[in-house]
Amino acid sequence: MKNVRMILVGFGTVGRGIAKVMELKKNKFAIFNINPRIVAICEYNGCIINDAGIPTQGVLKLAEERRLESHKDWKNLKSLEVIKETEADIVIEVTPTSLETGEPGTSHMKAALESGKHLVTSNKGPLALHFKELNDLARKKNVEFRYEATVCGGMPTFNLVRKTLALNSIESIQGILNGTTNYILTKMHNSNLSFEVALREAKEMGIAEANYRYDIEAIDPAAKLVILANAIMGKNVKFSDVKRVGIDKITTEAVQLAKKKNFVIKLIGEISKDRLEVVPRLVPSIHPLNVPDTLNALLFKTDLAREVLVVGRGAGQLETTSAIFSDIIDICTSVS
């Protein structure tokens, strides 16, 4: 049984999800011959450190009560110090994403890789802005840099290509990379709602969050497209290279006219020889990318397996931890 020490950087929804799943699945790790433990949890104002492993239940309760600082192992240390100086195998970076600065994630990630630790993250900002730099650093330090949860949450994406399509060349990727806009477009189509009313409903449902403009202006899916292009297609593109059109100008009339002709309007991302774009497109109703509600979908065209479509949940606490643990387990069971 291999002991795996992990530093958890960020203890919001995703970080707590990881602690929750560690508890929920504690008997399942033995199947993979690993014994993971969280040796540090970093928050913006300090951290909890315990090399013997931090018991998850106590720490989850304190986090719920917003008094993590009262934990017996709380220290007033900065995350960067903890990442660099704590003995650990894997750093899990799950702080809130920023597509403007990429911070604090980028600094955390660099510190993790620089100090020779494997890195697993759900934080897409740093990858959308600095993928090549982070990837090169990981190679130089001979550690794993894994980011399954950054694109399409619990839906298998990078590990699908890496593990199940290993020998294939990926010729193009098309897909739906944002659940909020897909929900709004589904409501406009099925219930004949205007964009404004569908958006309001998405807000009330908690689907559209405070930063909903990132979704409706296609900024979020464009960031994901950049990560896909660089990580899977071996490109070296920037966010500003993506042609990007949002969904806020789409009228009820356009959606209903499409419907009459057996089409749907979907916000489609595409990476191919000629295209790097996220734009609303007319898609035939029977097309495999016509998936409803908040679902995400990716259609890979490959040289051996030909078309492979995957559909799943692009967000959610447990969904995201599913992706994070697929990275962690793969790191622990692969030849380094």
Interaction site with a second copy (CB under 8 A):
21, 25, 28, 32-33, 148, 154-156, 159-160, 163-168, 285-286, 288, 290-292, 302-313, 316, 318-319, 321-323, 325-326, 329-330, 333-335
CB-nearer residue toward a second copy: 205 or 318: 318
CB-nearer residue toward a second copy: 112 or 323: 323
60 contact partners, CB below 8 Å, separation of at least 6: 16, 19, 20, 23
215 is written with which tokens? 């979704």
CB of 299 to a second copy, least distance (A): 9
Instruction: Give the integer Cα–Cα distance in Å for 272 and 270.
Output: 6
Q: Is there a catalytic annotation at residue 235?
A: no
Query: Quick one: DSSP state of residue 247?
Result: S
CB of 157 to a second copy, least distance (A): 8
CB-nearer residue toward a second copy: 159 or 252: 159
Query: Quick one: DSSP state of residue 155?
Result: S
Number of residues in the chain: 336
Q: How far lies 92's CA from each of 4, 69, 107, 168, 222, in Å?
A: 12, 21, 13, 29, 24
CB of 221 to a second copy, least distance (A): 20
114 contact partners, CB below 8 Å, separation of at least 6: 84, 137, 141
For residue 183, the SS3 value is: helix
CB-nearer residue toward a second copy: 180 or 186: 186
Instruction: Give the integer Cα–Cα distance in Å for 297 and 310.
Output: 6
Q: Which of 224, 235, 273, 301 is catalytic?
A: 224
Q: How many CA atoms lie within 13 A of 80 on its CB side?
A: 8
CB-nearer residue toward a second copy: 127 or 289: 289
CB of 207 to a second copy, least distance (A): 15
CB of 6 to a second copy, least distance (A): 14
Residues with catalytic function = 224
